[in-house]
């Protein structure tokens, strides 16, 4: 998703700095608070200002809650929630200076619960809570904050999820995920470019009135809740 978002924003003329553990403009581990601070500082050093923050780092974990380990909890919360929070924390003063905006990549599981996904649910409900809180806190400063809440997206993360949790049958695992979609035989996974299109809109002038929104992009799977 991050790669697709970068390409979409660059295509409209934005200067984009990517941050990741490897092969990025800024190498940073968002689970470490000092690296979130450095990531923002290096971005400012490269380009002088910050108009948009997109928090797209994420990991998945699933399984019975009674088998969850502390390491699984820590990694999921640290990447999905702590990383998003402290990226925002250090970006906010610079977003206030430019009256910019932030988009946090959440999940449909930040809107509804899912069996065997309590830790992931906790992290993504937290992301949506941060989104709503910051939207109100920063509105007087002209800063907008929204989240995007996708269902399963066709990414290497999803492939890894199927490999790790598919009990030796990753294709069967993916088929079961598709079967949960209301489109039945028309079902498919969301494409990264579709997420990027929504992020591009939310960071455009056309979206100026939109803040504090946690926007589903999930084939309608949460519509009945």
pLDDT digits 0-9 by tens, 4-14: 999 999 999 99
Q: How confident is the model at residue 224 (pLDDT cuts 50, 70, 90)?
A: confident
pLDDT of 225 higher than 90: no
- Report the SS3 class of residue 54: strand
Q: CA–CA separation, 101 vs 209, rounded Å?
A: 12
**Are 172 and 163 within 8 A, CB to CB?**
no
**Are 153 and 190 within 8 A, CB to CB?**
yes
- The closest of 197, 206, 218 to 8, measured between CA atoms, is 197
* CATH fit for domain 2-151+191-213, picks 3.40.50.300, 3.40.50.10330, 1.20.5.510, 3.40.50.720: 3.40.50.720
pTM to 2 decimals? 0.95
Q: CA–CA separation, 151 vs 106, rounded Å?
A: 10
The count of other CB atoms within 10 Å of the CB of residue 68 is 16
pLDDT of residue 157: 92
* Contact partners, residue 177, CB within 8 Å, separation at least 6: 152, 189
Beta strands in 87-205 (DSSP E): 101-105, 144-150
Q: Domain map of the chain by residue range?
A: 2-151+191-213, 154-189
- The closest of 112, 106, 109 to 224, measured between CA atoms, is 112
pLDDT digits 0-9 by tens, 60-78: 999 999 999 999 999 999 9
pLDDT of residue 19: 96
Cite the active site residues: 120
């Amino acid at each position: 998703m991050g790669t697709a978002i970068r390409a979409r924003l660059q295509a409209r003329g934005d200067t984009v700095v990517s941050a990741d553990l490897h092969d990025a403009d800024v190498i940073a581990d968002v689970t470490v608070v000092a690296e979130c601070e450095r990531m923002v500082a290096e971005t400012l050093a490269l380009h002088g200002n910050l108009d948009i923050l997109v928090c797209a780092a994420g990991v998945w974990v699933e399984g019975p809650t009674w088998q969850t380990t502390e390491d699984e909890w820590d990694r999921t919360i640290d990447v999905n929630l702590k990383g998003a929070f402290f990226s925002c924390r250090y970006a906010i003063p610079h977003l206030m200076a430019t009256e910019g905006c932030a988009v946090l990549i959440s999940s449909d599981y930040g809107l509804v619960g899912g069996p065997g996904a309590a830790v992931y649910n906790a992290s993504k409900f937290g992301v949506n809570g941060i989104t709503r809180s910051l939207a109100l806190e920063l509105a007087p400063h002209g800063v907008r904050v929204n989240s995007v809440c996708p269902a399963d997206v066709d990414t290497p993360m999803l492939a890894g999820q199927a490999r790790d949790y598919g009990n030796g049958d990753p294709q069967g695992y993916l088929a079961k995920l598709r079967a949960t979609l209301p489109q039945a035989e028309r079902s498919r996974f969301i494409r990264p470019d579709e997420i990027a299109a929504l992020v591009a809109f939310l960071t455009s002038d056309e979206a100026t009135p939109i803040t504090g929104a946690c926007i589903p992009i999930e084939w309608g799977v949460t519509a009945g809740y």
